[in-house]
Amino acid sequence: MTDISHLDQVFIKDLLVRGILGINPEERTNRQDIVVNATLWADTRPAARSDDIADAVNYRTVAKAIIDYIEGGAPLLVERLVEEIARICFETDARIEAVEVSVEKPGALRFARSVGVGIFRTRDEFFPDA
């Protein structure tokens, strides 16, 4: 397991994307709100020293990759989507060592503001030989 105690957190909060997600017929045809939160563990010291975006985990690039995936995909389960978003984070920037991702479906459950799934993954879980 990757030790993240020396790493910093870059986060994306409440990213709202419309996409196809779910098992019910109406969920398969009608786009719905999907809320994504992602915390990316990486060393931000190089960017802090250089003040250069090339040395930073670019949260805009990560967010765009997540948006593109959700808008273009149509997974059945939230569990699948949250796992794929974790993979996308690692594929987008090699400096990301761990991620915590949650995906929520607001209004999907009567009497609940939102339902969803949250996971924590490390780079070595996806790329063990890297």
Dist. CA 71–CA 82, nearest whole Å: 14
* DSSP notation for 110-124: TT-SEEEEEEEEEHH
30, part of any domain: yes
Determine the longest span between alpha carbons in the chain, in angstroms. 52
Per-residue pLDDT of the chain (130 residues; tens, 9 = 90+): 678 889 999 999 999 999 999 999 999 999 999 999 999 999 999 999 999 999 999 999 999 999 999 999 999 999 999 999 999 999 999 999 999 999 999 988 899 999 999 999 999 999 888 6
pTM equals: 0.94
111, part of any domain: yes
Structural domain boundaries, residue 36: 8-126
The CATH code of the domain that includes 85 is 3.30.1130.10
For residue 34, the cross-strand partners are: 17
Q: Which two tokens stand for residue 11?
A: 């986060």
Dist. CA 79–CA 126, nearest whole Å: 16
Residue 107, pLDDT score: 87
3, part of any domain: no
94, part of any domain: yes
Q: Tell me how far CA of residue 3 lies from CA of 10, 64, 82, in angstroms.
A: 16, 28, 22
Residue 71, pLDDT score: 97
Active site residue 64: no
- 108: Cα within 13 Å, side-chain hemisphere: 23
106, part of any domain: yes
Dist. CA 102–CA 94, nearest whole Å: 21
Element (H, E) at 73: none
Residue 3, pLDDT score: 85
Count of structural domains within the chain:
1
2, part of any domain: no
Please identify which of the residues 95, 105, 121, 123 carries the catalytic annotation.
Answer: 105
